Amino acid sequence: MKSKNLSEKILRTVKSKGFNYIELDSVIETNHIVERSGETFRRFIFSFKDQKGNELCLRPDLTIASCLRYLNEKVKGATKVHYYGQAFRKNLNKTDPIIRNQIGFEIIGSKNEKKDDKQIIETSIKSLSKFNYSSGNLVIGNVEIFKLLLNKLDIPKRWRLRMQRHFWRESYFNDLLKRLETNSDVDPTIVEIDKAKYRRMLKGDQSKQIAGRSVNEILTRFNNKIKDPRRAKKGRNVAKIVKEFLKINCPIDKAANKLNHFFKKNKINLRVQKDYFPIAKNKYAKLNIRFSASFGRQLEYYTGMVFKIDIKSKSKKINIINGGRYDNLIADLGSSKIIPAVGAAINLNN
């Protein structure tokens, strides 16, 4: 009963901010999840087949279910919605719950990025007034800044895309940085071996499949690698810059200056305006607010501002709210155009 009363209070708070309540489908097509997160994510979902053989799953994420609803119902223009329900996901840690009770709220078709980002964060903080907590931390990151940085670095296009694509996979991303530092993939002997393989494959059947890819695809990749090699010294320098960037962590009011100092020091033609972030104060209610350049690696669909709120209650630290901007998600799910969106989810399990 106590949990129900809490969720009802939060829902009333969110509604007072102009968000309209919607119901979400509990079952969605599995391909919507796998195509976004890859086959490796399949082991975390509860899937089954219907009478027609279509693969379906219990929703592991409420945001995707909400965006699918927006798309399927052919909603036009901007809409502010909120919802309450359960997400179902298997976990590597057996002590973590497989059923997550969440309240979510979103601005889909977001027209004013800064204004809407700020409203999502302010609504999140307002919702916290219903919780009994002594202190907390609001961490803000921005995936867009990292992408802009990569585009300025002197590395081959294929490496730039690879690092951007795998930013979400922290362990593998760190392996990529090690390869950049050690330059193991630009060993002259290996390069010559690659060239020899390339010449042999040119003479073979290019429609043949190898490990799920056609020989023609592999040749195209080889060709790019041979034409656009990465120099050893440049690789070490890029790895150094990326590592230094990801270490930036400071109070939010110092974030713009820290970033601009970093860009100037490394001769990178980027500049962050002081009003770039949706919130400028270091303290808001009971929350300390910081910027972290490395934060934002939880979900692949984030494209810009990301944030999380942790609170301390009864000497226990709890991750209570996560959110951010995902401008490409609805297009990835099937929309013919980009529909910007930003939202957050409150974790009620704790």
Residue 125 lies in a domain: no
pLDDT (tens digit per residue) in 336-346: 899 999 999 99
47-49, strands of its sheet edge to edge: 27-29, 55-58, 47-49
pLDDT of 241 above 90: yes
What is the pLDDT averaged over residues 284-289? 92
The amino acid that residue 131 corresponds to is F
Verify that 199 and 322 share a domain, yes or no. Answer: no
- Closest by CA to 88, choosing from 6, 24, 35, 11, is 24
Which domain covers residue 196, as residue numbers? 184-229
Range with lowest mean pLDDT among 9-23, 185-199, 310-324: 185-199
54 CB contacts (<8 Å, ≥6 apart)? 29
Position 250 confidence tier, pLDDT thresholds 50, 70, 90: very high
Residue 174 lies in a domain: no
Looking at the chain, the number of H-run helices and the number of E-run strands are 12, 15
Helical (H) or strand (E) element with 305: strand 305-313
Cα angle vertex 37, ends 245, 342, to 5°?
Answer: 65
Verify that 215 and 105 share a domain, yes or no. Answer: no
Verify that 198 and 73 share a domain, yes or no. Answer: no
Verify that 149 and 265 share a domain, yes or no. Answer: yes
Q: Which residue has the tokens 């999502």?
A: 120
The strand pairing partners of 342, in sequence order, are 107, 325
Separation CA 114–CA 302 (nearest Å)? 16
Residue 120 lies in a domain: no
Verify that 284 and 192 share a domain, yes or no. Answer: no
Residue 117 lies in a domain: no
Residue 19 belongs to a domain with what CATH number?
A: 3.30.930.10
Residue 122 lies in a domain: no
The amino acid that residue 129 corresponds to is S
What is the pLDDT averaged over residues 224-240? 68
- Closest by CA to 168, choosing from 43, 303, 298, 292, is 298
Verify that 156 and 282 share a domain, yes or no. Answer: yes
Helical (H) or strand (E) element with 342: strand 341-347
Range with lowest mean pLDDT among 138-142, 210-214, 233-237: 210-214
pLDDT of 232 above 60: no
Residue 116 lies in a domain: no
Residue 33 lies in a domain: yes
Verify that 142 and 85 share a domain, yes or no. Answer: no
Verify that 205 and 70 share a domain, yes or no. Answer: no
The strand pairing partners of 21, in sequence order, are 82
Overall number of domains in the chain: 3
pLDDT (tens digit per residue) in 34-52: 776 666 678 888 999 999 9
Verify that 165 and 291 share a domain, yes or no. Answer: yes
Which alpha helices (DSSP H) does the chain contain, by range? Answer: 2-16, 30-37, 62-72, 113-127, 143-152, 157-165, 170-182, 188-202, 215-227, 232-246, 255-265, 329-332
Verify that 142 and 269 share a domain, yes or no. Answer: yes
Indicate the average pLDDT of the chain: 86
Report the pLDDT value the prediction gives residue 194, as an integer from 0 to 100.
Answer: 66
Verify that 59 and 99 share a domain, yes or no. Answer: yes
Report the pLDDT value the prediction gives residue 59, as an integer from 0 to 100.
Answer: 93
Report the pLDDT value the prediction gives residue 334, as an integer from 0 to 100.
Answer: 85
Verify that 316 and 213 share a domain, yes or no. Answer: no
Report the pLDDT value the prediction gives residue 1, as an integer from 0 to 100.
Answer: 45
pLDDT of 140 above 50: yes
Residue 177 lies in a domain: no
> Count of CB atoms within 10 A of residue 224's CB?
12
Range with lowest mean pLDDT among 46-60, 86-100, 330-344: 86-100
